Chain A
């Protein structure tokens, strides 16, 4: 449901989406180093195929987003990763449309940046499993924010409150829970085995 298709939103909203997306792309690509690109490509590949793992919830169908995990691994570079993954999904799977790419990138990319900001707060705590705890928190929060953004956009164009509450918000509750487990486990595993795969503070600082 996070993919908004072509022809759903009005032109002004699509244009505003592209405008905001270009600003964030600039921020995301700022002073990028060629050495970072392989890691970004790998995370983008995961985002690209994540939407294929979908399951039915009530009257609709939902899928994993993994944008929280992208934020934790890539930091500010997560936005460009989300943008490229969505462009490929639109081109190859017709998930969302090319005209809605700007809005969809915001819906997925801003939560990814939020997840990065939540996850980097873990250093302030001396918990034994802080990567798991913060990973789960960031992963869940990212999905929640993405669903809320889609909800707000659909509400703004006059969709029925009750219908979209069920179709967008309620149906994403299981996704939030699954993403908490997936992101938390991934962060915990990477922290012990390949800590360099998680976003460190040597680059990508605000």
Chain B
């Protein structure tokens, strides 16, 4: 049985290229979409901020404004990814700002698929290479 190093290289390179076009992998993912968001404006002693004005900004543009109820609460129905929105509440000189970019942090932490494929193939190529060197040395003696 004879397998040349070139054949191993070519095979692994072909597999890397084939996998590069695949968008995702075969594991289950659980996603979510927030259809309703309950905002609560309060002061630092816990008193609800009644009748506070809440504005929602997306990319610097105001897309929504509303007023909190007696409990300091306001229901908002987001249509966009929450990570892109900024919420600002203001009442009589008080002002608070809120951004929800949990989702962005999560995706940033993950390696791209092509890199993960390359890492796995790299291990296998390494094992193949070491065994080839070993066999060549053994034959040389």
Chain B: CB-nearest residue to A81? B124
Contacts A48-B124, A49-B19 given; does A42 touch B11 at CB 8 Å:
yes
Evaluate contact between A88 and B12: CB separation under 8 angstroms. no
Query: From residue A5, how far is it (CB to closest CB) to chain B in Å?
Result: 7
Map CB proximity to A onto B86-116 as digits: 1 under 8 Å, 0 otherwise: 0000000000000000000000000001001
Interface residues of B in 1-32 (CB under 8 A from A): 1-3, 5, 7-8, 11-12, 15, 18-19, 22, 25-28
| Interface size class, chain B | 20 to 34
- Are B26 and A88 in contact, with the CB atoms below 8 A? no
Residues of A with Cβ closer than 8 Å to B? Answer: 3, 5, 34-39, 41-42, 44-46, 48-49, 51-54, 61, 63, 84, 88-89, 91-95, 196-197, 200
A sample of 22 inter-chain contacts (CB < 8 A) reads: A5-B28, A34-B135, A34-B138, A35-B1, A37-B131, A38-B8, A41-B8, A41-B128, A42-B11, A44-B124, A45-B11, A45-B15, A45-B120, A48-B117, A49-B120, A51-B25, A52-B19, A61-B26, A84-B124, A91-B120, A92-B119, A95-B26
B-to-A contact residues, CB < 8 Å: 1-3, 5, 7-8, 11-12, 15, 18-19, 22, 25-28, 113, 116-117, 119-121, 123-125, 127-128, 131-132, 134-135, 138
